[in-house]
Structures are given as structure tokens and as C-alpha cells.
Amino acid sequence: MSNNDPAHSIGRRPATGLVFMASELSILFRRRRTWALLLALAAIPVLIAVAVRLTSGPPTGRGPAFLDQITQNGLFVAVAAITVAIPLFLPLTVGVVAGDTIAGEASTGTLRYLLVAPVGRGRLLAVKFAGAVVFCLAATLAVVLAGTLIGAVLFPVGPVTLLSGDTVSIGESLLRSALICAYVTVSLTGLCAVGLFISTLTDVPVGAMAATVVISVVSQVVGQLPQLELLHPWLLSHYWFGFVDLLRQPIEWSSFAANALLQSGYVLVFGALAYGRFTTRDVLA
Amino acid sequence: MSDETLPEGPAVQTRGLSKRFGGQTVLDGIDLSVPRGSVFGFLGPNGSGKTTTIRILLGLASATSGDVEVLGRKIPRFLPEVLPRVGALVEGPGFYPFLSGRANLHRLDAADRFVDPSTRRARTAQALERVGLSQAADKKVGAYSLGMKQRLGIANALLTHRDLIVLDEPTNGLDPQGTREVRHLVHSLTAEGTTVFVSSHLLAEVEQICSHVAVLRAGKLVAQGELSELRAAGQTRVEVLTPDGADCRQVLTRLGLTPQEPTPSHHTPGGSDVAVGAPLPEHFPPETIVAALVAAGVRVKGFTVDQVGLEELFVSLTGEGFDVVQ
């Protein structure tokens, strides 16, 4: 009976998760909210560059790192902007997206329909996490691309002098920028996992978003307290500024590796917590 | 996965299904049996546990105890196998307000790994057509009325052929026209061999479209069966209005009826008339009763034959009034 229906294709090999992943990304990037977040991030380097340009540069040694190099080389706008964005703005936007993952679906009532569609609960978590990580990459790219562009427009561009004192070509420095994007994206995956877990605890997305952002702030505050030094290597934010090691010659990869290891630890632990919670709870929203 | 079909047997079967939230028992030993191909009405007042039962059938919530089988497979163990064959509208529609109706259906269809993506466009268009939403398909759902969202929710259940469709309060927010359309839709689904499970707190709605009914009250199943059986179980009664209560009872007893104690009639307040009621056995011609009464000299002021309607049955089963039981 049912198998005569061409639209009905049970018995057909199930599709890979890619179709649903594509749907998830298209939903994420069709939301106006996502674009507002990305635009806000892109505004950071623009603000910095314009401010520095109008005031003909701060005296060296003051303000955020790399700020004093901007007037000599526009390519430093991106790095300065990333430095400014890492402690608050990036975690804020990532917190919004990661905190919204499950709780957002619950609050619109779409969660029950996705589960009945059916999307397995584990698969839904995996796709939601992957979507949040893609957003981290987009967020980082927004800062770095906008920074590079505005820097090239407002300031002279030339070979870049690295922290180690060596000079690399413009092409090489763009490659380093791409590496910084990768580093910062990896830095934020742990926060994505934390946000995903918190998002499985509630049906109120704003609560999950706020809690995720608070955790990133607490992590950084604890990181500032010498009395809690014992905890520092385990903090989510411990290696967040380690990206500067990518601006040495030769590249200092150890912080990249340590960061990746720490973040995957967070992904494993909070991923497991999210799975444990989400696969056993009743979906009542 | 092979081309196997799911085992035969009832579309839904539960044994001793119970659910407790905290200290509260929401479902208490439900034994539900929904025959294949039936239109099954799941009736009960607000808060009686209808939606909770549906959540458990669909694997959204877990049962505290008891067995659940849907389409012949144990739930929740075989959910991944069963759910692609089940379409559902659960506790109202849920959609992304910033997407169009069509895009919402595409999204939910993409979530189902067992359907063919190449037919997605055609299938969504067909489902939208079936619920009369083709005109509004490209409007954002945020701009939909409640009734339109409800239609979209039903369209989602129809995206592909289903063996079982669960509709939780499908006519909520629909105008009379929409309600009629839902009735037609349900008929056409049954014609395709789909089992339809409809929950409702409105008896009239269920009475018109269902072949089978179950009635839930405060988490307990108080009636279940074919609609025609339940109707038949509703007794036919005769009632005689007379000043001669005792004589009347005698005559009725002689005729083989079991008359009740005469009650003061409310038709003639203050008078001496009483009403004598008795259940009427099947195939008993009521007119012979009047003849016998008159022959015995009983003064008959009124005589009525009443069918206890499904409405009365429903009210007697679920209790009257607006009080939510739990």
C-alpha cells in the first residue's frame, strides 16, 4: 500500500545528515538577528580605524595591543580589533547563538516538531553544535575581514613586522590573519558546548544566552585572580589571547595545540552533559 | 534498511500506561487500543491527560510505567523506525515566525531523513494545497492568524504518506469553514488507509468524524470502543407522568420493565403528579405501554421515550462543569 506512493520512501536508505545541516545553516543565516550580530562585530574594527585615523594615532604604548602599529600598517587593524573583541563582544554573540540552540527551538514550539519529524536527539545536538561553531567562524571572519578592508582603505599597507621582529610579506600576513581566525574559532568551541548544555536545561532562550555569557566573563575574572592560579590552566578562556603566538617567526604552534586540546576537553565534557540531559528529558514545550 | 513494512496489529496499543510528574499522577494505567484504519476520537476535558498521552506516543515524553506500541513497535525503543510513518500536530502549531509557511515546511521535511529531497517542493506544495494555504504559502508565519498556523500544522503532518496521523485538537482556532475542511480531510485520509487519532475536548467534533472513541477523565480511561457501541450503551428510557404512581409501577412491572421509584414531577410543581421512569428493553414497542396503562385505569398525563445521547454519556463519564480535575 504505502510503498506504491512515490513520495513515500521509507525503505530507502536514509540520507546523510548533510541535508539537515544545510537547513540549519540556512535558518541561522536567514535570521536578521544573526546578521545584526555580525554587523555589530564588523563595526568594531571600523570604529577603531576611524578613531585612530581622526586622532592621528595614540602615543605608543597606550590602549589595546597593536593599536599603536595601525598608523604604520593598516593590516594591524584586524589584529587590534580581534584583541578588543575577544574578551566581551565575541563571547556575547556566541553566547546568543549557542544559548539559543535548543531553548530557542523549544520556545517557538519547533523542537517537538523536529523531534517528531524525526530528528534523533543526538543528531539534533550535533547539528546545533556544528551550526554554532560555524557562527563562531563567521563572527571571527567578520572582525578580521572588516578590519583588513578598513585598514587598507584608511592606512598605508605594506610588509608586516611581526612580534619577533621579523618582517613578512603582505600575502604571508594575510595567511597569518586566516590562522588567527582559525585559532579564535577553536577558542570559542568550548563556549559553544557550554551554551549548548545550558540551552538543554531551559525553554527560555534569553536565560540560556545570559548564563553562557556570564560563564565566559566569570572564566576571565577567575583568570585575573592570582589566588586561583591553580585553576587557570583549566579555564575556558585561558588561551584566548594565545593567538599572538601566530605572529612570531617561526610560528609558535604550542599554544594552538594546547588551546585545541583544552577546548576539545570542554566540548567532550559539556557535549556529554548536554547529551545526557537532552536524551532523557521530557520535551514539554 | 530493507523494504519491510511494520507489523500488523493495532495502530496504537498501550498497556498500563502511567505517567507521574513529581507527586502528581497525570496518567493512571491507560489501556488504549486504536484499530488500524480507524478514525479514533480521544476525548476528555481540559487537563485530563490527552496531550501527555500523545507526547508519550510520539516519544517526546517518557512513560513512568507501562508498555506502548505504535504501529506494532515498542516505543520509545523503535522510535526512529516508527516516527517517519507518523504525522503529528501536537499541542498547537510551532513554527519559525521569520520564515514563510513554505520555508517552514521545507525545514521540517529536511529534518526527516527518510523522505526523498527531490520531491520536497512538490510534496510541500501539495500539502499546502490540501489545507487551503497555497495563497499564503510565501507569507511569513509571523503574519499568520491562529487558524492559518493551525492549517500549516496540519499540512506538516501531511508532508508524506503516513500510516498514522495524530491530530491534537485540530480545529482549535479554526472557523466553521475550516472545521468542515478538517472533517473532509480526515475522511480523505482514512480513504487512503491512514489511521487518524484525533484528540478533542469537543464531543460534537468527534461524534461527526470518528469511528472509535476513548474517553479520558483525570488520567483514567473511562470508556473506549466503537462509537456505535457506545451510542447503543446509552439506554433508551420511558417516562410516565401520572398522579397514580403506585399503580403505574405495578403495570410497568407486569410488562416486564424495571420501573424506578416515582419522583415528584417538575412539570407540575406543587401538584400530586409523579414521574415514573424505566429503561426500555430493545425491540419493546413503547405504544403497548400506554395501552396497558390506560387499560389498567392509570391516568396518563404524559409519556416520553428518550435516547440518552452521547452528550449525556460524555458528561456522565467526565463530570459536569468547568472544573479542571487536576
Domain co-membership, B197 together with B256:
no
**Residue among B85, B113, B161 whose CB faces A7 most closely:** B161
Q: Which residues of chain B neighbour A32 with C-beta distances below 8 Å?
A: 98
Domain co-membership, B228 together with B241:
no
**Residue among B93, B117, B160 whose CB faces A19 most closely:** B117
Domain co-membership, B271 together with B284:
yes
Range of the domain at B54: 12-232
Looking at the structure of chain B, the number of domains it has is: 2
Return per-residue pLDDT of chain A as tens, 285 residues.
334 344 444 445 566 668 899 999 999 999 999 999 999 999 999 999 999 988 865 555 566 778 778 888 889 999 999 999 999 999 999 999 999 999 999 999 999 999 999 999 999 999 999 999 999 999 999 999 999 999 999 999 888 888 888 889 999 999 999 999 999 999 999 999 999 999 999 999 999 999 999 999 999 999 999 999 999 999 999 999 999 999 988 888 999 999 999 999 999 999 999 999 999 999 987
User: Searching chain B, which residue's CA lies closest to the CA of residue A11?
Assistant: B3
Domain co-membership, B176 together with B296:
no
Q: Which residues of chain A neighbour B60 with C-beta distances below 8 Å?
A: 112, 115-116, 282-284
The Cα of B277 is separated from the nearest Cα of chain A by a number of Å equal to: 49
Residue A119's region, left for phi above 0, alpha for psi from -120 to 50, else beta, is beta
As given in the structure block, the three cell numbers for residue B94 are 510551532
**Residue among B61, B79, B114 whose CB faces A9 most closely:** B114
The CA distance from B89 to B140, in Å, is: 20
b/e map B56-95, b = 16+ CB within 10 Å: bbbbbbebeebebbbbbbebbebbbbbbbbbbbbbbbbbb
Assign residue B113 the CATH number of its domain. 3.40.50.300
Domain co-membership, B65 together with B88:
yes
Q: What is the secondary structure of A31-94 as a DSSP string?
A: SHHHHHHHHHHHHHHHHHHHHHHHTT-PPTT-SSTTGGGTTT-TTHHHHHHHHHHTTTHHHHHH
Strands B33-34, B236-242: pairing is unpaired
Domain co-membership, B215 together with B240:
no
Assign residue B245 the CATH number of its domain. 3.30.70.260
Q: What is the secondary structure of B253-264 as a DSSP string?
A: HHTT--PPPPEE
Mean pLDDT by 10 residues, chain B (326 residues): 61 95 91 95 89 95 95 92 94 93 95 89 95 94 93 94 94 87 90 93 82 91 86 76 88 87 71 83 84 90 78 70 49
The one-letter code for the residue type at A158 is G
Domain co-membership, B172 together with B290:
no
Domain co-membership, B267 together with B153:
no
Reference A105, options B178, B99, B52; nearest CA is B99
User: Searching chain B, which residue's CA lies closest to the CA of residue A110?
Assistant: B94
Chain A within 8 Å of B122 (Cβ-Cβ)?
yes
Domain co-membership, B253 together with B123:
no
The verdict on residue B219 lying in a domain is yes
* A80-104 pLDDT, tens digit each: 999 999 999 999 999 999 999 999 9
The verdict on residue B322 lying in a domain is no
ipTM (interface predicted TM): 0.86
The CA distance from A195 to A128, in Å, is: 11
Domain co-membership, B188 together with B251:
no
Cα B66 from chain centre: 22
The Cα of B177 is separated from the nearest Cα of chain A by a number of Å equal to: 26
The Cα of A205 is separated from the nearest Cα of chain B by a number of Å equal to: 14
